[in-house]
Structure 1
Amino acid sequence: MESLPATVASALAGADSETTDWPARRRRLTAVSVELQALLLTHPGPGLVALAEDVVTQLAAGAATTRRHRVDLAELAHQVLATHARACATARPDPVRLADWLLDLQLQHPDAPDVGLAAYAAALDDEGLAHYRDRAVALFTPLPVIGFGETGRYDRARWALLRVMEELAEYTEDVDLQLLVLTKDLSSGWHYLQVATVLRDNGRSGEALEWVHRGLDAVGGRGAALRLIDLAVEEHLRRGEPQQAVRVCREAFLARPSLDVYLKIRALVVHTDDWPPLRAALVEHLVRDGGHLAVEVYRRIVEVELTRRGAEEQELLVGWLHQLRGLQPDAFADYLDHIRTRHVADRALLDELTRRGF
């Protein structure tokens, strides 16, 4: 047993050299792994736990320093770590010391094999797991948040801690741990959406909506904005708050007009008395804005409303076309030709446009 670490050290020495007979060295390392597995039957106990820890650490360090054989060494380290977990289940080492060793292995050797806490459940027990959690959280909490639009700073230390926390959150099914991990990276609207979705799925509706609004403020109508709006609308409707759903959409439209948001608002209130004045307010906002984006949205809204015409809609469309002609006098003739071409089979519409001077 005592010779195994020396065998590993010998096999790893100069392993990256081009002249090294790596297949032979790999066979020696594989033999060490096999012998450790055999010792589970013949010599289980604290000595085997310590021996496996020594070998895993050597292999993990080797995987971090070699370019040529990283995959092989990582796989061997994974095999020995599995043996270590089985040895711990039998020997039951001090759970706090075991928790510290597992954390140190991952933090000092970011290329180490993934530690699956489920394999150590019996050995860690509640005491060891609580120590593992407390220490991991204490190390992870001070890490800076990656703000919106920033590039992720995933150095090896941060990446190792992130991997530890993700496994811990999954194993314990602790939503707060999952949220702690997710809220460390808010570099895009999709990250805000992830946080809000986890909160929504775990019945924390109010917090989910708070994160939706934070995400909408950050993205400014771009990226994940529509998905964030969808989540907010669904949640407000589920809570019996239709007016709040409309408010979210209206604020989003005023911040950055888009046809998609207009259609969401329309679907929410088109069959209520609130729709005519709200529609007028939205269109008035586009007219006041007057920018290229607003005009394009304006045109697309007109295209949509052309398919839903009643007497009231006809009057509105005529007014909107007059406004568009005022906003883009040079381009209006081409736009009107575009409308006529798209609706060439609609004689009633074409006649009405002609009658109204278009």
Structure 2
Amino acid sequence: MERTTNIQLGFTEADLQRAAGPTSFSRGEDYAGAVQGLDIGETSIRAAVPGRETYRVELVVTHQTGLTGSCDCAYGADGHFCKHCVAVGLAALRQTTPVAPQSADAQVPVPPPAPTPRASQDLVTPWLRSLDRDALLALLNEESAADSGVRDRLLLRARVVQADRAEVRDLVKGLLAPGTFAHDGYAERALYVQDVAQATTILRTLIAAGRVAEAVDGARWALWRLAEVYESAGDADELFTPLHGLVAVHLRACEAARPDPEATARWLVGHLLGPFGEMTPVDPADYGDILGPTGLARALALATEAWRNDPTDKAARLKERLLKAQGDVDALIAAYADDLAPDGATHLRIALELDQAGRAGEALDWAERGLQTAGERRDVDQQLVEWTCVRYLRAGRLDDALAVRRTRFRAHGSLASYRSLRSAARGCGRWEAEREAALELLRGNGSRGGLGHSPRLLVDVLLDEGEVDAAWDAAAGHADDRQLRTLADRMRDHRPADALGVYLRLLEPLKQSTKDEAYQEITRLLRSIRACHQRLGTPGEFSRHMAALRTELKRKRKLMQLLDANDL
């Protein structure tokens, strides 16, 4: 069930784009309509996003960290702001009035939210109910005459109502025949998606006609067939929305038919443990009322037995989901606690469950235990680190957040962990001392162990701090080509001779390549080399260099054309 509070979000769609990047943002747009259980709180947003599995997402916005997101998909587990985070952010924006954070004294009026599809339905439904039978018939005739799609759907519904069980079964099977979906082009796939929509309309018509038992059986068969097509196609994102629609129809049919809990439990477990179970976004919690205590207990027993016979990750996850559906948080935690990952990932799962159950204190205790267990491991779960630090910040425990950031920087130094350390230390007003200790560690002057001598990271850190000359000194004999290029670009105005030496060094190996990308890079470097000579007052030397280069590389026609286009 969705829950929202009357708040304004502290981020915009542009913030989501910046956090995710163009690829993840574009993919997230496709999933926004499938977000489930959207829970918008005062400082965080939680939801589930179905895909090959159902992924849990949490977005947090604070003044200290800005917009951050965590997701238990593989890409999100690596610390990325994934497409599922984007989907949840977009879903939240569509239900609230997003505004960018403003200063306390800013007096900018907030515009009213744009009308949503749900608001439009609230206008249409009362109006339709106000019409009498003849007016409704006239309206339907008018709309079907104007729109062939409406007419075709009405004809299909009329045909289904008059058909017997066997005829309906054959109709659905004909629409969902696998065909050559996996090998066909975009147009053929689009037609298949339309056929799935027709099959879904048939099942909805059965429910409306009171033939709910047929709808249950038909939806289960359709889910199996469509999941099989999805699996065989390998890459069939077009089927995600139709799959989601079929799941919704099956659930609705079960709610109306109230099938036998024992049989439903067997179907649910068999479906989710089968070869195609993870292709369909079926959540056992949605079937809690249908199964009841007896059915849930039976489903859990079946899943547990399957796990004992074959302890796969899929079976373990189903056990956990059924425990969640039962609402037994302590039993779920006990199941998690039987196999705690050394990197703290399981501790985070426990913390999330406890937090969702309103047991925030216990949640933070488990998170802290996870960090203690992980110690100074390099592979500690980054989501656990972020979650714990955000909770510390909310509670005003700035020193504790700083201690976590310090430990993580020392255990796994990176530019990202340095920036997090800097942000936490500034919040405590202790950045000067922390900065000096961090730099000493990077220079190899700190305590033994941890980072040790990290000259390349030191270069990145000094560049990030704007200390270009110090970064240049640290780079001697250590920097890679990327860092050298950045240093040269940053030094070109005030140290053109040093920058020139870098550009010439980077240019040399590129002359052997025949790739277009190399030609583009050669051109960029030559423009920079020309700028250095201009600042040094030696344009004649650049002209001689270019003449020699053109003679050496004259056989590379594409390169010559590129040089001509750039007046080189």
TM-score (norm 1): 0.51
Whole-Å separation in 2 of the counterparts to 1:224 and 1:19: 40
* Counterpart residue number, 2:262: 96
Opposite residue 329 of structure 2, the aligned amino acid is: D
* Counterpart residue number, 2:361: 203
* Counterpart residue number, 1:105: 271
**Aligned in 2, Cα 1:208/1:187: closer, same or farther, shift over 3 Å?**
closer
The one of 80, 91, 102 equivalent to 2:246 is: 80
Whole-Å separation in 2 of the counterparts to 1:37 and 1:255: 57
**Aligned in 2, Cα 1:71/1:136: closer, same or farther, shift over 3 Å?**
farther
Whole-Å separation in 1 of the counterparts to 2:406 and 2:256: 62
Equivalent positions of 1:282-297 (< 5 A) are 289=448, 292=453
**Aligned in 2, Cα 1:250/1:130: closer, same or farther, shift over 3 Å?**
same
8 Å contact kept, 1:52–1:84: yes
Whole-Å separation in 2 of the counterparts to 1:225 and 1:39: 47
**Aligned in 2, Cα 1:255/1:77: closer, same or farther, shift over 3 Å?**
closer
What's the offset of the Cα at 1:121? 3.0
Q: Does 1:216 align with 2:401?
A: no
Aligned residues: 275
Opposite residue 130 of structure 1, the aligned amino acid is: A
Whole-Å separation in 2 of the counterparts to 1:91 and 1:138: 28
What's the offset of the Cα at 1:103? 2.4
**Aligned in 2, Cα 1:161/1:137: closer, same or farther, shift over 3 Å?**
same
* Counterpart residue number, 1:41: 208
**Aligned in 2, Cα 1:115/1:50: closer, same or farther, shift over 3 Å?**
same
* Counterpart residue number, 2:223: 56
Point out which structure has higher relative CO (alpha carbons under 8 A, 6+ apart).
1
- Secondary structure at 1:3 match in 2: helix
RMSD of aligned alpha carbons = 5.8
* Counterpart residue number, 1:6: 170
Whole-Å separation in 1 of the counterparts to 2:222 and 2:207: 15
8 Å contact kept, 1:16–1:69: no
TM-score (norm 2): 0.35
Opposite residue 194 of structure 1, the aligned amino acid is: L
For residues 63-82 of structure 1, what are the alpha-carbon distances to aligned partners after superposition, in whole Å with 9 as ceiling and x for unaligned?
Answer: 2122475523x433332332
Higher helix share: 1
Q: Does 1:177 align with 2:332?
A: yes
Equivalent positions of 1:14-163 (< 5 A) are 15-16=179-180, 21-67=188-234, 69=236, 71-72=238-239, 74-108=240-274, 109-136=276-303, 139=306, 158=313, 162=317
8 Å contact kept, 2:371–2:385: no
* Counterpart residue number, 2:145: none
Opposite residue 348 of structure 2, the aligned amino acid is: Q
Whole-Å separation in 2 of the counterparts to 1:12 and 1:6: 10
Q: Percent identity?
A: 20
Whole-Å separation in 2 of the counterparts to 1:47 and 1:174: 36
**Aligned in 2, Cα 1:71/1:161: closer, same or farther, shift over 3 Å?**
farther
Higher strand share: 2
**Aligned in 2, Cα 1:218/1:47: closer, same or farther, shift over 3 Å?**
same
What's the offset of the Cα at 1:44? 3.1
What's the offset of the Cα at 1:256? 9.8
What's the offset of the Cα at 1:40? 0.9
8 Å contact kept, 2:230–2:236: yes
Q: Which runs of 5+ in 2 are unaligned?
A: 1-164, 431-444, 459-568
Opposite residue 224 of structure 2, the aligned amino acid is: T
Equivalent positions of 1:314-333 (< 5 A) are none
